[in-house]
Amino acid sequence: MRMLLVALAITCLTACGAVGFPGVYRIDVEQGNIVTQDMVEQLQPGMSKRQVRFILGTPLIEDTFNRDRWDYVYNNRNGLEVLSESTLTVVFEGDTLVDVQGDFPTPAFGGDTAAAPEQPAEG
């Protein structure tokens, strides 16, 4: 009889862990680096690592195996739901900025130019 009560208690406690409690408040969580389009537009090929760090801030991820790549990641979560997520990868050759990739248009680096007005074709 005692084993039956122990088994029943364990089953009930295990079942409680699988069910979320209604009305539990989960805070909004912002993690990472906030990077704006204005910040990305300030980046130009040939800038030094120091200049890029001044504009964008300290990168969230500095790859230990590839010191010429910095990753800026930003997540905004409302409880369990992801509201927004953005990434920006900055690539250097030595101390010189050569490429920027990610979720932002980067016309200075040959990226998406949707934000830049089109020039009429000469002919």
Tell me which residue range forms the domain holding 88.
26-106
Residue 112 lies in a domain: no
Residue 64 lies in a domain: yes
Residue 5 lies in a domain: no
Q: What is the pLDDT of residue 91?
A: 93
Residue 37 lies in a domain: yes
- Find the CATH number of the domain harbouring 31: 3.30.1450.10
Alpha carbon of 117 to those of 13, 74, 101, 122: distances in Å?
Answer: 61, 28, 20, 15
Residue 42 lies in a domain: yes
Number of domain units in the chain: 1
| Contact (CB, 8 A) for 106 and 43 | yes
Q: Is pTM, for the whole model, over 0.85? A: no
Question: 25 burial class (0-12, 13-18, 19+ CB within 10 angstroms)?
Answer: exposed
Residue 21 lies in a domain: no
Residue 46 to residue 99: CA distance in whole angstroms = 9
Per the listing, tokens 């000469």 go with 122
- From the first residue on, what is the mean pLDDT of each consecutive set of 10 residues in the chain (123 residues)? 81 65 78 90 93 92 88 86 87 93 83 46 44
| Contact (CB, 8 A) for 74 and 34 | yes
